[in-house]
Structure 1
Amino acid sequence: MSSSSRETMLDPLKSWKFMIWPTIIFKPIDLFFFLLKSILAIFIVASFSLFLYSVFSSQPQQWLPSSTCNNQKFITPNNISTQTQEKTDLSHIQFGIGGSAKTWNNRRRYCELWWRPNVTRGFVWLDEKPQNYEKLPPNSPPYKISGDTSSFKYTSWYGSRSAVRMARIVKESFELGLENVRWFVMGDDDTVFFLENLVTVLNKYDHNQMYYIGGNSESVEQDVIHSYNMAYGGGGFAISYPLATELVRVLDGCINRYHSFYGSDQKVQGCMSEIGIPVTKELGFHQVDIRGNPYGLLAGHPLAPLVSLHHLDYVESIFPRMTQIESLKKLISAYEKDPSRALQHSFCYDLKRNWSISVSWGYTLQLYPSLVTAKILETPLLTFKSWRSWHNEPFTFNTRPIGDDTCQKPIVFWFDRVERVKDDWTLTSYTRHFEESEKDCDRQDYAPALAVRFFNVSSSKLNPSIWNMAPRRQCCEVIHDGNGADGQIQVKIRGCKRFESVTPP
């Protein structure tokens, strides 16, 4: 063997070069086309694979198995229709209202304000059959008797065992097996729901997912004692069907594990912690954990649809010189004309008179005979006390005190009536009520404002779809028709224009 042959055998790299080098030298065209075909083949295969991946990965993954720790099979609702794109309406909601036979004859008046016979679905759950039930009006919700809860533990020294029964309402409601239920909504017998707005809020969320929706207490002391992570039961909360299937499986165990918890809503939230579902907070659920006059709370309503009001027996009437039921009927008369706009806040300036005007639609109007900043106008007046200690603070929102100087206070006008005008426009009127104990500012520059007798406020019907958009308070403007010489001021509420703001000159 020659030395050159031995070198080639011992050096594989040289051997490789020896084999392909002649091809490069003598057939360069063939090699070029071979490489080109290879690259094209790789590109085609990769493109087709990417196409298949994009097609199959885009398919919705519905009703995947539950990932609970004990590997329980996820319970598919018996009412899931193929029309998953159908919007939620009132027929998809089942109410579970907690009540007592002893208080039902009085508190049913609140339920009768919003319950719609043969339309609203659900029951009030009582501890026993109420007296004279056969004589109740047809708009009183039907009732069920709660099951026996004597075997459950309850050790809260300052609470009531009825909390156990109330906590199980969601389970007993679920076990009724009503068809086509997407949401279970819990509340108390003194909770007033605003049904169109409740439906609007629930339509923001996918009912096929696990949602727990509600609001906190207004009084910080209540949130500290009970929980910031809890939907308060009096203000009402909503549980989607898939979450209810998980909740009812563990609820009885939670009631015993959290036997020291005061309220039913605390016990339910303990279960939510175990399932791993946080509360989704909506500002329109109102626990009304306040004392005294609720005026400031309602007049400074947050930018959200009004969903519920609770604890109305514990606060003053929301309109002067009326019972609470009469007041609510008055508020509802405006709400029914334009549900999405109820209590919505708008304010603007009358620059001819240097006045500031704040409208809480369907409830009140405040007139300031000066130019007040938007930051002040949006902050609720402190007309109420905290729930437990009756103090001026703290609350979960900012408040502004009402001073003793009458010249610094707004002139208050109250909603009087509403009417539908052309197309989808409404006209609401606000009049001033004079109290004997009230003293007016005696400054000369205040006199023109005191001469105003009422306001007429026009607005187009607020489309509920606005709550699916980025929130923005609507604007208003003063219409100088007659210059208010007859004691009337005209105001128009409308959507804000581009680059428009409520900025004093």
Structure 2
Amino acid sequence: MSSGVDSVRDPLDNAWKTLRFPIIKPRELLLLFLKAGIAVSMLLIITLFITLYNQPFYPNNNHTTMKYMLQQKTPEEKASTNISHLLFGIGGSSATWQTRRQYSELWWRPGATRGFVWLESHPPDNTTWPETSPPYRVSGDTSVFKYTCSYGSRSAIRIARIVKESFELGLENVRWFVMGDDDTVFFTDNLVTVLSKYDHNEMYYVGGNSESVEQDVIHFYTMAFGGGGFAISYPLAKELVRILDGCIDRYAEFYGSDQKIQSCISEIGVQVTKEPGFHQVDIHGNPYGLLAAHPVAPLVSLHHLDYVDPIFPNTTRVNAVKKLITAYKMDPGRTLQKSFCYDLRRNWSVSVSWGYSVELYPSLRTSKELETAFETFRTWRTWHDGPFTFNTRPVSVDTCERPHVYVLDGVRNVDGDMTRSWYRKTVDASGKECAREEYARALEVQYVDVYASRFVPDKWKKAPRRQCCEIMDGADGVNSSVVRVKIRGCRRFESVTPS
């Protein structure tokens, strides 16, 4: 007779014996693993393609979709942004081009710059288009679009569509569409320097505001003003042209093309990236104070030059800009850049705006004072003395409180990468000179020589800092009619302090 334990074990043993495990042969096991591997691989491939398909795609012409998605960039795509990657769209008119082209021809470089002047109609049959001008295109018909601004011009519609018509040309290797007016002067090397800071594969809208607050209030602080020029990256242009025509009708009440463009870009959700080197020049009068107090940023553009005094005295407006361009060509990144230094033995302050002017004060002035623009101009709309989008200081009626001003006379190369620019004293607008005894020595100075090594553009990719300078002549200098200044990078822990 079995025990109680055995009577319990027997049913369990019987149940265990009823289980049957299949015997899998090695060949069948191998096939099973192969099928599972193929299934997993297919799943991964499908997942990869779904992921890549949902990535944004903004190819330039002749670039295949697969190349872009797999990030197999050509040497051209890997190259740093240069002038060939910019396509300019200049708003012009066949009626005014012959008088306005003198500004475009100052910066246009045939064979290097790319783009077109867009006109409302073909020039007269007897007109020979200048080889020194950008080539022209005729804008499409805009009669079907609405325009309800009572004080504006329908040409704003045509000019707003330049970015669309430029994009639809389908030109290769375009990274940026740059818009401007026929009286905009671009400093293209500096424009390239500025745009190369940004990833052209992202959606960027780069430009600047008006200098007059009243203009920004009317036309938006969020807008890049068209006369000063603005740049739109290829991906943003691709999105913009898709909605532009309908958007122009939605904003029919807006005055200008730049207002319409900004409003359409706002629907995409892109904000303006402000660069202080774009200058609308929405001022009247003498632009000296604006230019002599240029921000620490590359000079990119100047506009409205027919509406202000010549930027250099005793010459025409165009020749004055040519003079500035001679300095710019020598050292693009340094043009208009400020440097301050002191001569503590003579109690002098010197402020250099390279390639433009030098101010000599026969007293010690703070850096804050020296960096603030003289208010030599008035607002654009009402001709008032402000407000402006930057600080200004009045020009004193007392000649003893005004600096001696020296304007660019010439510039040349010396010692390889070193330049020498020299500046000639101007006659005070009042025709008077300070009679104080301590000013006598300063009145003897007729020229200021400025030496500087060429500015390396890569410096603009770092945190901006004004460069330092030093006066090379001592109090017992041999030639009392000339002051020599050397501009250099600031030393560690160096500050510009009048003590």
> What is the TM-score normalised by the length of structure 2?
0.86
The Cα RMSD (Å) is 1.9
1:21-79 Cα distance to aligned partner (Å, 9 max, x none): xxxxxxxxxxxxxxxxxxxxxxxxxxxxxxxxxxxx9xxx989545xxxxxxx553326
Kept in 2, the 8 Å contact 1:63–1:76? The answer is: no
Q: Structure 2: which amino acid aligns with 1:373?
A: T
SS in 1 for 2:179: strand
Identity %: 64
CA contact (8 A) 2:61 2:171 kept: no
1:412 and 2:418 correspond: no
Q: How far apart are residue 269 of structure 1 and its match?
A: 0.4
The amino acid that maps onto 1:323 is T
**What is the Cα deviation at residue 130 of structure 1?**
2.2
Return closer, same or farther for 1:63/1:329 CA change in 2, 3 Å cut-off: farther
CA distance in 1, matches of 2:124, 2:210: 33
1:365-384 equivalences under 5 Å are 365-384=358-377
* CA–CA distance in structure 2, aligned partners of residues 102 and 137 of structure 1: 15
State the match for 1:77 in structure 2.
60
Deviation at 1:263, TM superposition (A): 0.3
Aligned twin of 1:124: 117
1:427 is the counterpart of 2:428: no
Contact (CA 8 Å) 2:58, 2:201: kept in 1 or not? no
Report how far residue 410 of structure 1 moved. Answer: 0.7
Query: In structure 1, what is the Cα distance between the partners aligned to 2:483 and 2:376?
Result: 26
Assess, with a 3 A threshold, how the Cα gap between structure 1 residues 487 and 182 changes in structure 2: closer, same or farther: same
Residue number among 385, 395, 411 corresponding to 1:402 in the alignment: 395
TM superposition score normalised by structure 1: 0.85
User: What does 1:346-495 align with in structure 2 at a 5 Å threshold?
Assistant: 346-434=339-427, 437-480=430-473, 483=477, 485-495=479-489
Structure 1: runs of 5+ lacking an equivalent? 1-56, 67-73
Structure 2 regions of 5+ residues with no counterpart? 1-47, 64-72
Provide the residue aligned with 2:338 in structure 1: 345
- 2:67 aligned partner: none
> C-alpha separation between the residues in 2 aligned to 1:63 and 1:100?
44
CA apart distance, 1:208: 0.6
Q: Look up the match of 1:3.
A: none
Determine if the alignment matches structure 1 residue 91 to structure 2 residue 74: no
1:152 corresponds to? 145
Tell me the amino acid that sits aligned with residue 317 of structure 1. Answer: P
Aligned match of 1:32: none
Whichever residue aligns with residue 389 of structure 2, its letter is T
Q: Which residue of 1 aligns with 2:315?
A: 322
Mapped to 2, the partners of 1:181 and 1:459 lie a distance apart of 35
Distance in 1 between the 2:95 and 2:52 partners? 45
Q: Secondary structure at the match of 1:102?
A: coil
CA distance in 2 between partners of 1:97 and 1:235 (Å): 12
**Deviation string for 1:232-277 (max 9, x for gaps)?**
0000000000110000000001100000000000000011110000
Q: Equivalents in 2 of 1:180, 1:209: separation in Å?
A: 15
State whether residues 366 and 412 of structure 1, in contact with CA within 8 Å, keep that contact through their aligned partners in structure 2.
Answer: yes
Of 239, 254, 260, the residue aligned with 1:267 is 260
SS in 1 for 2:374: coil
Deviation at 1:504, TM superposition (A): 1.1
Q: Partner of 1:268: helix, strand, or coil? A: helix
Partner residue, 2:160: 167
Query: Which amino acid in structure 1 is aligned with residue 342 of structure 2?
Result: Y
Q: Distance in 1 between matches of 2:480 and 2:60?
A: 62
Q: Which amino acid aligns with 2:114?
A: R
For 1:126 and 1:139, the matched residues in 2 are separated by 17
Q: 1:486 to 1:199 in 2, by over 3 A?
A: same
Residues 252-263 of structure 1: pairs in structure 2 closer than 5 A: 252-263=245-256
Counterparts of 2:444 and 2:230, CA distance in 1 = 45
1:283-323 CA distance string (max 9 Å, x none) = 10000001100000000000000000001111000000010
One-letter amino acid matched to 1:409: R
Instruction: List aligned pairs for 1:183-198, cutoff 5 A.
Output: 183-198=176-191
Q: Deviations over 1:354-380 (max 9, x none)?
A: 000000000000000000000000001
Residues 283 and 315 from structure 1, CA distance in 2 versus in 1: closer, same or farther, beyond 3 angstroms? same
Task: Look up the SS of the partner of 1:234 in the other structure.
Answer: coil
Matched AA of 2:461? N
Task: Indicate the residue corresponding to 2:100 in structure 1.
Answer: 107
CA distance in structure 2 between the aligned counterparts of 1:133 and 1:350, rounded to whole angstroms = 62
Aligned match of 1:18: none
Corresponding position of 2:497: 503
Partner of 1:282: 275
Instruction: Give the structure 2 partner of residue 23 of structure 1.
Output: none
Q: Which residue of 2 aligns with 1:249?
A: 242
Contact residue 347 and residue 475 of structure 1 kept, 8 A:
yes
Contact 1:452 1:484 in 2 (8 A): no
Work out whether residues 286 and 308 of structure 1, in 8 Å CA contact, stay in contact via their aligned partners in 2: yes
- Partners of 1:444 and 1:459 lie apart in 2 by 33
**1:119-160 deviation digits (Å, cap 9, x = unpaired):** 110100001122477534321111000000011000011111
One-letter code aligned to 2:61: N
1:416-438 CA-partner distances (Å, limit 9, x unpaired): 00000111000000001226742
Q: 8 Å contact 1:381–1:399 — kept in the other structure?
A: yes
Whole-angstrom distance in 2 between the partners of 1:209 and 1:149: 30
